């Protein structure tokens, strides 16, 4: 490089080369221009490196433990902390279930971001891991690589000491204590289930109230009973006799059933018409009860024929002729028709009054 160039570098940097006469030839001037470009590019690269170095110095990573000494089986937390600009990106390592052969990862928590109160452009991002160990000893937690916008940063190594539980061998070994019996009173149960008790009582009281209201309301409602027409005993008897005729029992060789139903219809009619007890009574006892009734002799004969023949069929296995079976039903119908109450017809009122009235 031309030595004269270095003599004019201060003037070039300060901009004072105007008005100076450089004892350089044309070729020397071209060489100086090339050298100026090289120096300018080198300066830019140098400033860029300084800027990157400054940014890298603004991002710091560290590792620390919540407790550096734990008992076997106890848990502590491992913190990976990164101090960096608020908008910078950070990638924490993805740990598996084991850090080393003896130190295990129980859980991985979400990263926590805290901003600097003096400079909100700076933030501290903390990633925590819950770790434990079931073997006594001193373990070295290795350095972790954390990816940041300033590059990959390494954390410091940590030492975790796991202590064993001391057992006093001078004392006797006791069996496991049995479960303690705790008294559980009614008030304890009531305290635990008071919501259900109140709910059940509320439902019971509501049901009582609704029932009382409905009963009181029903008492105030007038009950209108519809009078049913009274069917005379002879009408009932005649209808049953017609039903018996339609069954045609004796035609089906069910003679005993035929006379049993026929006797029941007549006995029921006698009890309702004359007030004589006929059930579980013999035929002679029935006629003894009808001794003082106004039944004509012809009707008595028809009644006796029906009841006596019915007894013979039911108890003596009598088998009457078909004509006798039909005659028995006819005698029963005639007896009812002849003994039914006679309702006297009321005289119709005549217009103009009676012929015996005096004008």
- DSSP tag of 98: B
Q: What is the mean pLDDT of the chain?
A: 80
Question: Residue 201 in 3-state DSSP?
Answer: helix
Q: What is the pTM of this model?
A: 0.37
Plot region of 233 (φ>0 → left; ψ -120 to 50 → alpha; else → beta)? alpha
pLDDT at 231 > cutoff 50: yes
The top-scoring range by mean pLDDT among 37-46, 104-113, 220-229 is 104-113
Task: Give the lowest-confidence range in 12-26, 168-182, 266-280.
Answer: 12-26
Q: Class of the 60-163 domain?
A: mainly beta
Sheet containing strand 69-71, strands side by side? 69-71, 158-163, 137-141
Q: pLDDT tens, 320-356?
A: 999 998 999 999 999 999 998 876 655 555 554 444 4
- Burial (0-12, 13-18, 19+ Cβ within 10 Å), 274: middle
Q: pLDDT tens, 118-144?
A: 887 888 989 999 999 998 889 999 999
The pLDDT-based confidence of 358 (bands split at 50, 70, 90) is very low
- Residue 35: what pLDDT? 61
The domain spans of the chain are: 3-57, 60-163, 186-221, 233-339
Angle, CA 109 vertex, CA 108 and CA 112 arms, to 5°: 140
- Residue 246: what pLDDT? 94
Report residue 167 CA to chain centroid gap: 52
- Residue 257: what pLDDT? 93
pLDDT at 43 > cutoff 70: no
pLDDT at 200 > cutoff 50: yes
**Which DSSP string corresponds to 74-91?**
-EEEEEEEEEEETT--EE
């Amino acid at each position: 490089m031309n030595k004269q160039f270095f003599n004019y570098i201060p003037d070039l940097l300060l901009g004072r080369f105007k008005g100076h006469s450089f004892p350089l030839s044309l070729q020397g001037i071209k060489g100086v221009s090339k050298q100026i470009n090289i120096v300018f590019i080198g300066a830019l690269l140098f400033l860029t490196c300084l800027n990157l170095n400054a940014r890298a110095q603004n991002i710091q990573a560290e590792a620390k433990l919540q407790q550096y000494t734990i008992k076997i089986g106890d848990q502590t937390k491992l913190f990976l902390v990164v101090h960096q600009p608020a908008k910078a990106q950070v990638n924490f390592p993805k740990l598996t279930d084991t850090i080393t052969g003896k130190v295990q990862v129980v859980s991985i928590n979400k990263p926590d971001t805290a901003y600097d109160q003096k400079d909100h452009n700076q933030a501290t991002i903390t990633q925590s891991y819950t770790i434990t160990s079931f073997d006594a000893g001193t373990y070295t937690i290795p350095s972790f690589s954390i990816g940041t916008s300033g590059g990959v940063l390494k954390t410091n190594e940590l030492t975790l000491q796991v202590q064993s539980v001391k057992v006093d061998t001078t004392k006797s070994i006791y069996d496991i204590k049995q479960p303690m019996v705790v008294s559980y009173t009614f008030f304890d149960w009531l305290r635990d289930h008071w919501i259900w008790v109140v709910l059940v009582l509320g439902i019971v009281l509501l049901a009582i109230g609704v029932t009382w209201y409905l009963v009181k309301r029903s008492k105030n409602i007038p009950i209108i009973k519809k009078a049913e027409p009274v069917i005379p005993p002879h009408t009932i008897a005649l209808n049953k006799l017609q039903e018996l005729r339609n069954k045609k029992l004796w035609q089906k060789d069910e003679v005993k059933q035929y006379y049993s139903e026929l006797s029941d219809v007549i006995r029921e009619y006698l009890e309702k018409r004359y007030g004589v007890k006929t059930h579980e009574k013999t035929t002679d006892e029935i006629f003894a009860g009808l001794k003082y009734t106004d039944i004509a002799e012809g009707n008595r004969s028809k009644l006796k024929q029906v009841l006596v023949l019915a007894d013979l069929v039911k108890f003596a296995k009598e088998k009457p002729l078909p004509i006798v079976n039909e005659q028995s039903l006819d005698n029963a119908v005639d007896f009812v028709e002849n003994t039914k109450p006679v309702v006297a017809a009321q005289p119709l009122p005549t217009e103009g009054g009676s012929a015996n009235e005096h004008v």
